[in-house]
Chains A and B, each alone.
Chain A
Amino acid sequence: MKGADILIKALESEGVDVIFGYPGGAIMPVYDALVGSKLKHILVRHEQAAALAADGYARASGNVGVCMATSGPGATNLLTGIANAQLDSVPMVAITGQVSTTLMGTDAFQEVDIFGMSMSVVKHNFIVRKTSDIAKTIHDAFELARSGRPGPVLVDLPKDVVSADLEDVQFKTSSSKPMPRPEAKDLHVAHDLILNSAQPLIYAGGGIRIAGASKELTAFVDATGIPVVTTLQGLGAIPADHPLNLGMLGMHGTKAANFAVQSCDLLICIGARFDDRVTGKLAEFAPGAKVIHMDADPAEIGKLRMVQCAIMGDIKVALNFLHVRPEIDFWVKRCMSNKEKYAWDYDAPMESVYAPKFIKEMSDRSPENTIVSCDVGQHQMWVAQHYGFKSPNNHLTSGGLGTMGFGLPAAIGAQYASPESCVVTVSGDGSIMMNIQELATLKRYNIPVKIVLFDNKALGMVRQWQELFFNENYSEVDLSDNPDFVKVAEAFGIPSFRVERADEVNDAIDRMFNHKGPVLLHVLIDPKENVWPLVPPGKSNEQMMEAKTV
């Protein structure tokens, strides 16, 4: 059995069904072994897209996503996608080809030290120098990727190692280990903190999705009656239309969410990490609050905010234990009053398309269980603000790294994770160009991803910041010479049509959802449209700018 066959068998033993990748010189023995295996390989058109598709697959399925590339440029092209998975705690195994062990360190053709280069953007990485280590290393890589706080693991495989023969290989089958139960003493401290609070607030993050604890969170909220705010990654952890859901907090959060955070006396942080886009000025974030922090990663506890109670281990157990009912009627009424007072206003008397209203209509008209992936920029925030997510697995967004070009490959991965679901990617005219080559992947495999492309002929979020914080000194944000995106899509064999007026929106959305295969909807929007509200950099969360205050 060759090393490459051992690798394929080890992947099959881990339950892998699909790999996103791109072949090349050093990884050729593995591609040779792939022929005839049970693994489905999706040939993307750039290695970065392989990593991002594996990321989207993992987020939508909860399983480990797998990507593969050759040595040198193939491996370096994976790095952005790997870093993306690391920043958002996404389980991934990245397999890279490497030059033969005898050539390593000689500046050989397509040699880079991807092990060293990737070290700071992976949860862990390996070089396999012996064929006899392949099966165990792959097993360990999967265990590491999905255990505790998930993340990407890179396995670098020299060509001679995967080409050599070996007999009597043992394969292990992975089984997920249960999370340990939280300490009883910590749960009792949390119990008392909640019971004695007058203005408690739940701050829910991406850890809810990772733990599969949405149901438990909703039950906890219903039992305690405590209002909830969510991070970008926490959207859908509790349904958007839940009465106690105040929406997203932070830089582009809702006023109701940010006001609640700033006035609460107890912040119950569940699977979130006090990210700077969430806290604004850290020293003034939730200034009067004691903190309960539940997380799988000990390194997150006390990293940015001192806590009064840390709960490690199984979030579900903790949430189920803490069904207490504090006396908080006055506080809840105040939160609800703010929610009503500051509800989104979609009344935009203009002929052109109003992006927030478009997203709201898309949300209302989408089929059940639609998965939405985003790119990065203004459209990403509009989706976060105006799409009503019911499950955290249905919102795929690059929150930590902010990777322009994430949306389309992530949607491809999500469609393989959930073939029956409608998958939409919302992009911008800046972001789409970062991985537009993946239209060829949609066409090749007839992947029925719907692309909504907002076009404001600019790098909108950068333009917005230059307008607000750099005295309207617009520097390198003009994209008015964009290609004709409808023609581009058609050149790839993807049907496409354009929307320019507000009164065309609803029919266009219906037409897009009713289309059976891949389709691109090119939506022209006002280049001056901004994302509101906005907490300016260095300010605390109650200091939100709005359109009328600019």
Chain B
Amino acid sequence: MKFTVSIRLTNTEGALERLLGRLRQRAFEISSMSAERTADRAYLDARFTIEGTRDVEPVIKQLAKCYEVLNLKFQYTEGGAQNGQWQHHTEREVCLPV
């Protein structure tokens, strides 16, 4: 299974590291990645191309649980039911802090 994840996250200390750790712990391999800070320094726009043998949906939910993640979309590039279609992940843990 190969998929691409596009994420906007707040530009806070360790935010990117947190995402990478969640992918590594679940044995996903990153085949390419890029991240760019927005002009106002407030956000990062990151994009990962990822390969793995496990189900994708649980790791997407784990990435979305990171509090730095503001929005997340992903697409299967190989395998998966909706090959090539971007899917927006909107579900967040309840009661987020303001």
Contact = CB atoms under 8 A, between A and B. Distances in A.
B65 interface: yes
Nearest to B67: A124
A147 interface: yes
Interface in A406-426: none
A149 B65 CA distance: 11
B17 A299 contact: no
Interface string A282-319: 00000000000000111100110000000011000000
Given A116-B17, A120-B21, A144-B67, A296 B93 contact: yes
A129 B67 CA distance: 19
Interface in B50-98: 57-58, 61-62, 64-65, 67, 91-98
Nearest to A140: B97
Contact of A115 (B14, B25, B57, B91): B14
B97 A312 contact: no
A147 B98 CA distance: 11
Contact of A296 (B17, B62, B94): B94
Nearest to B63: A299
A170 B91 CA distance: 33
B62 A147 contact: no
Contact of A299 (B25, B58, B97): B58
Nearest to A302: B57
A297 B93 contact: yes
A148 B21 contact: no
A148 B14 contact: no
A177 interface: yes
Nearest to B57: A302
A61 B14 CA distance: 32
Contacts of A180: 94-95
B93 A149 contact: yes
Interface string A108-139: 00000001100110001111010000000000
A177 B96 CA distance: 9
Interface in A147-168: 147-149
Given A116-B14, A120-B25, A148 B58 contact: no
B13 interface: yes
Contacts of B64: 298-299
A164 to B, nearest CB: 19
B65 A299 contact: yes
B57 A119 contact: no
A179 interface: yes
Contacts of B57: 302
Contacts of A116: 14, 17
Nearest to B24: A120
B12 to A, nearest CB: 8
Nearest to A143: B97
B37 interface: no
Interface string B18-56: 100100010000000000000000000000000000000
Contact of B58 (A126, A129, A143, A302): A302
Interface of B: 13-14, 17-18, 21, 25, 57-58, 61-62, 64-65, 67, 91-98
20 contacts: A120-B25, A124-B67, A125-B14, A127-B13, A127-B14, A144-B97, A148-B94, A148-B95, A177-B95, A179-B94, A179-B95, A298-B61, A298-B65, A298-B91, A298-B92, A298-B93, A299-B61, A299-B65, A302-B58, A303-B61
Instruction: Please give me the 10 A-B residue pairs with the lowest Cβ-Cβ distance, nearest first.
Output: A143-B97, A299-B61, A147-B95, A148-B93, A298-B91, A148-B95, A148-B94, A177-B95, A303-B58, A180-B94
